[in-house]
Every structure is written in C-alpha cells, then in structure tokens.
A and B are shown apart, each in its own frame.
Chain A
Amino acid sequence: MTPPAPVAPTTGATDPVVSLEGVRYSVNGRAIFDGLDVGIERGKVTAIMGPSGTGKTTLLRLITGQIRASAGRIVVDGTDLGTLDNEGLYRLRRGMGMLFQNGALLTDLDVYENVAFPLREHTDLTEALISRIVLMKLHAVGLRGAVRLRPSELSGGMARRVALARSIVMDPKLLIYDEPFAGLDPIALGVVLRLIRDTNDALGLTSIVVSHDVHEISALADRAYLLSGGKVVAAGTPAALNADASPVVRQFMGGLPDGPVGFHYPAPDYATQLMSGEVPA
C-alpha cells in the first residue's frame, strides 16, 4: 500500500479525504473546470452545488476516476488518481460507494440480489452470512420487506434507498450521492435526507452530495461548495453561503431567475434579429 501523499492545504480542509488541486478538465476544447480547488473533510457531509450545466456530475466522475483531469491533481484517501491504472482504480473504488440519480439498480436482479451484488462479486462469504448482511442493510433503509421486489416495482424514492443499501454493503469510507433529491415527493425526500445524515454519522463515513436543492442542502450539509463557470465561487457552511453577499451566490441561494447566471442563452441582438427574421442555420 502506498503511503498517503502530503496534501497541500489549498482548500481550507484540515483533514481532506478528497482533494482537488488546480484541476482542469475540458471537453472538445471547452473548459468545464479551470483551476478547480476542492477539499472534502473527513467525517463530514460536503455538498457540491451549482446551476445546471456547471459540471457537478463531471466533478464526481473526476473524483471516482471515471474520467481523467487534463491538468492538476486529484488525491483520494492519500492516493493520487493520476498514478493509478485500471486495477488501482478498481481497488480504490472498493472503499467508495456511489448513489446514482436514478438508483442505477440492475434491472435483471431483484432487490435482495442487487444489494448482495457487491458481496458476491468481491467476497467468498457464505450464503448465510450474505443474507444477514443484506437484511441488515435493507433494514437500515427501511426496505427489509421488499427483498423480492424487482426494480421496476419500486418507486423513485424506494429505488434510491435500495441503491443506498447496496452502496453501503461493502462498508465504504466515502459515499457519493449524485442528485439524491431529484424528483422525490416530500415524504421520500425527507426519508432520503435523514438517511444520508444518519448513514454518515452512524458509520463514520465521509459523504459528498451533489445537488442544487438549496433548502435540503442547508438542512443537511456541514460544508458546501458553490461552483460556477468552472471554478469554486463560494465555500463554507450553508449558513455562511446563505449570508454571502456576492451576486452569484445570492442569485443561486435565493433562486433568482436572472443575474450573473443569465436567463438568456447567448444570442444575437434581439431587435436586430426580429427585424431581419433570420434564424441561424
């Protein structure tokens, strides 16, 4: 095992599990991130917020090594992702859990087999032990009674809870949530909110939650980063972000339709275009 690399304290995080330093990532020549610095504190729930299209999910894919940064350094649990090959990445991911927006349950398996899937793939545990672990994890998310349901029979909230049970079944150190509140009714939303907090505290995890739901994040996160234009524009506790006076932060936290993040997609002059009636080919 490689000894943990020293991490430069550029992000203000004193004990970071994940640290991004000067990360640059571009797609087709367009920079999504340019000089991004983020530190995820151990044992805390950290939120990554930002308007749609700012690259929040891309950030998660960088942290999990699904895509590689074109410049900068990403250190996860003391290991520089840039130094890892595929095998190394897979080894690192065994210590991570990720909850996808739609749950991403395997549709040909029932709830029980979905939760048991990582155990069957990575361990030689007996069936008796697997069944007990699966039942315990499903009990923790309140779905012990749903073991034999298929993913198509689950509501959105239930699917996300099953996915949560699956992502904690290997006892990860880092849990990542991609838009966990999207499309949930108020009850399911409350359940998921409580589960994220309880799971983090009870299991001593570090959680990263990507979301643009300001109210939910304010109630949940210990620390939040607000991304815009490929950079961190604000970082701190949700309360500090709510009190921030900068226009971008005020627009996002207040849900204002226009501001530094424009309502209109870049377009030619309105009057000129109406006069000419020209529609770009």
Chain B
Amino acid sequence: MSDGLIKTALRKIGSVTLFTLKLIAVTPRALLRPRLIVEQVYNTGALSLTIIMLSGLFVGMVLGLQLFDILQRFGSSESLGATVGLAILKELGPVVTALLFAGRAGTSLTSEIGLMAATDQLAAMEMMAVDPIRRVCAPRFIGGVIAMPLLAAIFGMIGIFGGQLIGVGLMGVDSGQFWSQMQDHVAVKDVTEGIVKSFVFGIACSAIAVYEGYHAIPTAEGVGRATTRTVVTSSVAVLVIDYMLTAVLL
C-alpha cells in the first residue's frame, strides 16, 4: 500500500518536473509576447490582491497579539518589532501567500486550462499549428512566477503594519522601539530568504496549477478533480519545499 503511494508520488513529482522543464524551455519564446504575460500577472496577481492584503493584515495583527503576550512573559516586549518582522519576512509572508495563491490563482489557472481542453480549444490550437504549452501554459506560468514574490512583498508589508497596529496602537509598545528593534535585527539576508522562498513557491504553485489543468480529464468531473488536486498538491509542496529551503538558507 505505502509502496504504491510512494511510487505514485514519485511518478507525479517526475511528471510535474518534466512538464516544468518544458515550460522553462518555451519561456524565451513566450517572453516575446509580453502582453500575454502582463495579462496573466494581472489575473493571478492583481486579482489576488484583496485576499492577500486582508489576510496579511490579520496575520500581522494576530502575531502582534501572540508575540506581545509571549515576549512579555520573558520581559522583552520591546523586541516585538524584530520578531514580527522576522516571522513575517522569513516565514509567514512567503508561506501564507503561497497557500492563498494556490487557492485563489492556482485553482483559477487549472480550471481555465482544463475547461479549454474540455471545449476543444487546446486541440483547435494544435490544429492551427500553435503549441498550447507555449501559447496558453507558458504565459500563465511566467505570470504566476512574477506575481508570487510581488504578492508576498505586499503581504509582508501589510502584515508588519498589522503587527505595529496591535503592538504599538493597542498594547502600548513604544513606536520608536518597535521600529528600531526591527531595523537592528532584520538583516538583508532575512529579506533575501523571503524573496527566494516566494520565488520558488511561485514556480512550484504555478507549474502545478498549469500541469493539473493541462492534464485534466476533459469533463466537468475531471476538471473539478484537477482543481482539487492543485490545492492539495500545491499546499503540500509549499510546506515541504519550505522546510528544505529553510534548512539550506538558515
């Protein structure tokens, strides 16, 4: 049983990796049509802004409350700014953004491509001698890879604002201490770690979403299942990759 599961998982990883390599191979040609990519940055990025900003604000506010409570027990509530900043920039920003990205933009990519297959649009493209991987999949993949770090940056910014709102505004931490502690303890390396993570998550989530859509069984049920698989696979992939990247980058 577990043998079968491992084999299935390995086969899936191999298949997604090969598909990602194909996407990367056609990327230079896809970049010649920047308008298609800008459209996808809008679809996956701009249209996800509301959920990302709202989540960022509340995650930051919760961190403000929890960390204030914890730090106060150790008598170091003045470190709130540094801990909120580090937690959001290094970890929560990229991870939560990627999970939300998989749920909002990833499902939309999968169902869109899956429905295009179900209504013969991809077959029609092939018949017009247009490679659907280059024309449909690659712009969506590149758009996602560009959008994801931008969304993570916005999430981080709003999250820190949320932490400050609670820490300084509600809990009475000194505003000067909040920001100076953050300035002292958050290094460029920490910000870079967040950027690298969000970029890698962008590749993983976009590739999985596009892969599942392209390989969906072209029926209503097939597209529905593919959409579910996008969320499940992307979420697990984000958490596993997060551990590996943290181990390497720490």
B180 within 8 A of A: no
Q: Are A117 and B128 in contact, with the CB atoms below 8 A?
A: yes
Which residues on the A side are within 8 Å of B135 (C-beta)? 121
Within 8 A of B (CB), among A101-121: 101-102, 104-107, 117-118, 121
Query: Quick one: given A98-B124, A100-B124, A104-B124, are A118 and B130 in contact (CB under 8 Å)?
Result: yes
Which one, A21-29, A89-97, A223-231, A249-257, is touching chain B?
Answer: A89-97
Q: Are A104 and B129 in contact, with the CB atoms below 8 A?
A: no
Q: Are B129 and A90 in contact, with the CB atoms below 8 A?
A: yes
Q: Are A104 and B126 in contact, with the CB atoms below 8 A?
A: no
Contact check: which of B116, B120, B121, B129 meets A93 at CB < 8 Å?
B129
Q: Are A64 and B128 in contact, with the CB atoms below 8 A?
A: no
Q: In whole angstroms, how far apart are the Cα atoms of A113 and B154 in the complex?
A: 35
Within 8 A of A (CB), among B190-247: none
A66 within 8 A of B: yes
Can you name the residue of chain A whose Cβ is closest to the Cβ of B134?
Answer: A121
B119 within 8 A of A: yes
Q: Are B129 and A98 in contact, with the CB atoms below 8 A?
A: no
Which residues on the B side are within 8 Å of A93 (C-beta)? 126-129
Which residues on the B side are within 8 Å of A97 (C-beta)? 127
B69 within 8 A of A: no
Q: Are B119 and A104 in contact, with the CB atoms below 8 A?
A: yes
Q: In whole angstroms, how far apart are the Cα atoms of A90 and B135 in the complex?
A: 14
Q: In whole angstroms, how far apart are the Cα atoms of A122 and B130 in the complex?
A: 8
Q: In whole angstroms, how far apart are the Cα atoms of A104 and B115 in the complex?
A: 11
Interface string of A121-164 (1 = CB under 8 A from B): 11000000000000000000000000000000000000000010
Number of residues of chain B lying within 8 A (CB) of chain A: 14
B173 within 8 A of A: no
Q: In whole angstroms, how far apart are the Cα atoms of A208 and B68 in the complex?
A: 74
Interface string of B108-132 (1 = CB under 8 A from A): 0000000010011101111111110
Whole-angstrom distance from the CB of A115 to the nearest CB of chain B? 11
Whole-angstrom distance from the CB of A188 to the nearest CB of chain B? 19
Whole-angstrom distance from the CB of A85 to the nearest CB of chain B? 13
Q: In whole angstroms, how far apart are the Cα atoms of A224 and B159 in the complex?
A: 69
Q: In whole angstroms, how far apart are the Cα atoms of A20 and B79 in the complex?
A: 78
Whole-angstrom distance from the CB of B175 to the nearest CB of chain A? 48
Q: Are A121 and B124 in contact, with the CB atoms below 8 A?
A: no
Q: Are B129 and A94 in contact, with the CB atoms below 8 A?
A: yes
Contact check: which of A64, A91, A102 meets B120 at CB < 8 Å?
A102
Q: Are B120 and A100 in contact, with the CB atoms below 8 A?
A: yes
Can you name the residue of chain B whose Cβ is closest to the Cβ of A106?
Answer: B121
Which residues on the A side are within 8 Å of B129 (C-beta)? 90-91, 93-94, 118, 121-122
Interface string of A66-107 (1 = CB under 8 A from B): 100000000000000000000000110110111011101111
Within 8 A of A (CB), among B11-39: none
Identify the 5 closest CB pairs spanning chains A and B, nearest first: A104-B124, A104-B120, A90-B129, A93-B129, A98-B127
Given contacts A102-B120, A107-B121, 10 further A-B contacts (CB under 8 A): A93-B126, A100-B120, A104-B121, A105-B124, A106-B125, A117-B130, A118-B130, A122-B129, A122-B130, A163-B124
Q: Residues of B with Cβ closer than 8 Å to A?
A: 116, 119-121, 123-131, 135
Question: Can you report 29 residue pairs joining A to B where beta carbons are below 8 Å apart?
Answer: A64-B127, A66-B123, A66-B126, A66-B127, A90-B131, A91-B129, A93-B128, A94-B129, A96-B127, A97-B127, A98-B124, A98-B127, A100-B123, A100-B124, A102-B119, A102-B120, A104-B119, A105-B121, A106-B124, A107-B116, A117-B128, A117-B130, A118-B128, A121-B128, A121-B129, A121-B130, A122-B129, A163-B124, A170-B128
